[in-house]
Amino acid sequence: MAKKILVTGGTGYIGSHTVVELINEGYEVVIADNLSNSFAFVIDNIEKITGVRPYFYKTELTDAGATKAIFDKHPDVCGVIHFAALKAVGESVEKPLLYYHNNLFSLINIIQAMEEIGCHNLVFSSSCTVYGQPDELPVRETSPILPALSPYGNTKQIAEEMIKDKAGISELKAILLRYFNPIGAHASALIGELPIGVPNNLVPFITQTAIGKRKELSVFGNDYQTPDGTCIRDYIHVVDLAKAHIISLERLLDKRNKNSVEVFNIGTGKGYSVLEVINAFESASKVKLQYKFAPRRQGDIEQIWADTDYANEELKWCAERNLFEMLESAWKWECNLGTLNL
């Protein structure tokens, strides 16, 4: 019988790609999402891609009763991948309590409900934001956790601590995946990143500018201490990232984890500057991008990329798709969006 996995935030950007990979691997999937930053049509498109419709519950995971009700309906859930969270760095500075309330209560409710049904396997969405601007690059899992630069980042740090504390005194086992910068979309162009309003992140802003929804891209800062003066990030294809979740989940289900809580960097190990991303986009899309240099964005770190040795060796996982493929798929998704009856 297929194993059943609960994916919170399963209609979101990374969540939806992970649901597709789970279904492709033969898992039965239950999605819980409040649709605050995603759309119900994503479930239809997951079905179009996989031929299987996942269970879906529109739920507020900050509500303990509502969270527990999902587990009561599906007491055979054997693992949880917890994506559901607010994630806009700038908004978190404006509305810190919203971020602490949403991101931490939902995690508490999930862990409590898991315990009540005897499910002990958790894969958690963490972020490279927990490292701040590291002193040494590439950044390793053992690098220091520096004070968070935003309430959003702080929720990720606190969540990691909460999971470690709980795992220390219970049967909970968890894998914390510290994502670098996920971009790109599914090859079908039926699911992808769909920001509501003006995009905060680089790649959706690029694709929306190229298609004419935005006038021009502002490149935030060209006076950084990097080869071309623009910030450097480790961009990873969202499908590669999704696959890392399946591998992590199976490590827990097969009891191959070495500690009750394990942490992995999920990136490519390569850093690209904003200008390199723009150039790669132009060659992938054959569109000339309108952009200008603008002042630095507050809170941006100068450069970060991952040391992925530990994930490569321990998880036997490796990012496979290059920057060109990431941007090509992001562009295909943007072009297809008009046909998707939103």
Question: Which residues are designated catalytic?
Answer: 152
Of 45-53, 78-86, 196-204, 326-334, which part binds ligand UFG (CB under 6 A)? Answer: 196-204
> Interface residues for ligand UFG in 235-264 (CB under 6 A)?
none
Interaction of residue 166 with ligand UFG, rule CB under 6 A: no
Residues numbered 121-150 forming contacts with ligand UFG, rule: CB under 6 A: 127-129
Q: Residue 67 or 181: which CB sits closer to ligand UFG?
A: 181
62 forms part of the interface with ligand UFG (CB under 6 A): no
Summarize the chain as % helix, strand, coil (round to 5): 40, 20, 40
**Number of residues engaging ligand UFG in binding (CB under 6 A):** 20
Q: Please identify, using beta-carbon distances, which residue of 71 and 205 lies nearer to ligand UFG.
A: 205
Q: Give 35-38's long-range contacts (Cβ < 8 A, gap of 24+).
A: 35/11, 36/86, 37/12, 37/86, 37/87, 37/196, 38/9, 38/11, 38/12, 38/13, 38/194
| 327 lines the binding site for ligand UFG (CB under 6 A) | no
Binding flag, residue 219, ligand UFG (CB under 6 A): yes
Q: How far is the CB of 78 from ligand UFG (least distance, A)?
A: 29
Q: Computed from CA positions of residues 287, 293, 298, 299, in that sequence, does the dihedral angle turn out positive or negative?
A: positive
297 touches ligand UFG by CB under 6 A? yes
**129-154: b (≥16 Cβ within 10 Å) or e:** bbbbebeebbbebebeebebbbbbbb
85 in contact with ligand UFG (CB under 6 A): no
Please classify residue 256 by burial: count the beta carbons closer than 10 Å to its beta carbon, then call 0-12 exposed, 13-18 middle and 19+ buried: exposed
Chain residues in the site for ligand UFG (CB under 6 A): 87, 89, 127-129, 153, 181, 200-202, 205, 217-220, 231, 233, 274, 297, 300
